Amino acid sequence: MRVFAGFILRGRLQAISVAAVAAALAMLIPLFSHVAGGTVALVTLRKGLQEGIIVTVVSAVLLAVFGHLSSIDGGIVNIVVGAVVALIWIPILVTSQVLRITRSINLALAVTGGLTIAGVSVFYLYVGDAVAWWRNILQEILVPLLQHVEIPGLSGDTTSLIENMARVMTGVLAATVVFTTMINLFLGRWLQALLFNPGGFGEEFRSVHLGRRMGVVAVIVLLAATIATGIVGGLAVNLLFVVGAVLTVQGLSLVHAVVNYTKAHSAWLFGLYVLMLFLPPQVALALSAAGFADSWMDIRARFRKGGPPAQKSD
């Protein structure tokens, strides 16, 4: 991976090639989207926002060209490229620049969560009735699909399925943006550390802790989702997904920190990631609960020996 990271940083052409090809491959294998995003993150972290924007813009143009030269409908290509730029590359550009300037992974996570909350709020103000908006989208996309796919227990009635999905689609999409952005940022930071600061990323990641302010935000959003009704209540319910995503990242950091401080076997982490593959909602809920508790009690401090680990930087 050191060779791969070195290749990306060798020049603009190399970075663009990796980002564009990985983005194109992501249409077949979604995990390649993280390779593209991690490349943008690495370039931005090491060479600055301007270089990151150049790589992003040229890669987006190449991705659009690849798409239009393929057999995929041109309208779909435009939607996909627009979604990649808006939901993956722009967030990682902003977050990477925040980390580059502040050298604080905590602030990078907080900014990601804050901007996503702002985005969800603006979306609700713009569309008015977000549930109705998603209901129309899902009826156009999901109903024709379900006519060709039989889902056990659905019995051909898609009304309740679409209604339930429409209520939380904004939050699910927003949480996905948070997770995707942080995975891409962590990948870029890890690649940077391999070249210039071996072991530094592990110490940074284990230090992720947003403090009691995050706990207060979580309580406020939870109370609003429980008490409020109408559009405000719907907005609060969807914001819970964003808050939960941020706390999940902190909870995962907490697990890594506890394993490190207690010198536990790495099999615990391996088992956790296996569970995340097969039971992602349940594991995410447990990690977010751990992250919430950590916001108030700083659980990792109880396991830390010899003081907090010093963060390394480039």
| Spatial CB neighbours of 38, under 8 Å, sequence gap ≥ 6 | 184, 187, 188, 191
Count: domains in the chain: 2
The string of pLDDT tens digits covering residues 255-280 is 999 998 888 898 999 999 999 999 99
- Of the residues 86, 102, 118, which one is the last residue of a structural domain? 102
Residues 165 and 275 in one domain: yes
pLDDT tens digit string along 95-108?
A: 999 999 999 999 99
Letter string b/e over residues 203-214, b meaning 16 or more CB atoms within 10 A of that residue's CB:
bbbbbbbbeeeb
pTM: 0.90
C-alpha dihedral sign at 205, 210, 215, 220: negative
Provide the percentage of residues in the chain whose pLDDT is more than 90: 68
**Domain match, 72 and 218 both:** no
Domain boundary among 46, 81, 102: 102
**Are 160 and 203 in a shared domain?**
yes
Verify that 157 and 187 share a domain, yes or no: yes
Task: Enumerate long-range contacts of 84-89, CB under 8 Å, 24 or more apart.
Answer: 84/23, 84/26, 84/33, 84/36, 84/60, 85/56, 85/60, 87/173, 87/176, 87/177, 87/180, 88/33, 88/36, 88/37, 88/177, 88/180, 88/181, 88/184, 89/36, 89/37, 89/40, 89/56, 89/59, 89/60
Domain that holds residue 141: 103-314
Residue 308: band (very low, low, confident or very high) from pLDDT cuts 50, 70, 90? very low
Kindly report the number of other CB atoms within 10 A of residue 141's CB atom.
11
Rounded to whole angstroms, the Cα distance separating 143 from 219 reads: 37
Residue 313: per-residue pLDDT: 39
Who wins on pLDDT, 277 or 307? 277
CA distance 97 to 110: 13
Residues 95 and 117 in one domain: no
Looking at residue 311, its pLDDT comes to: 45
**pLDDT at 152 (0 to 100):** 55
Does one domain contain both 41 and 120?
A: no
User: Do 263 and 125 belong to one domain?
Assistant: yes
Amino acid at 269: L
Asked if 27 and 116 sit in the same domain, the reply is no
Q: What one-character DSSP code corresponds to residue 310?
A: P
Judged on CB neighbours under 10 Å (0-12, 13-18, 19+), 128 is exposed
- Residues 49 and 138 occupy one common structural domain: no
Encode pLDDT of 117-176 as tens digits.
999 999 999 988 899 999 998 888 777 666 665 655 555 567 788 888 899 999 999 999
Residues 137, 108, single domain; the answer is: yes
Considering the domain architecture, whether residues 187 and 305 belong to the same structural domain is answered as yes
User: Does 238 lie in the same domain as 214?
Assistant: yes
Name, of 73-82, 147-156, 207-216, the range with top average pLDDT.
Answer: 207-216
Among 49, 75, 102, identify where a domain stops. 102
Q: What pLDDT does 148 receive? A: 60
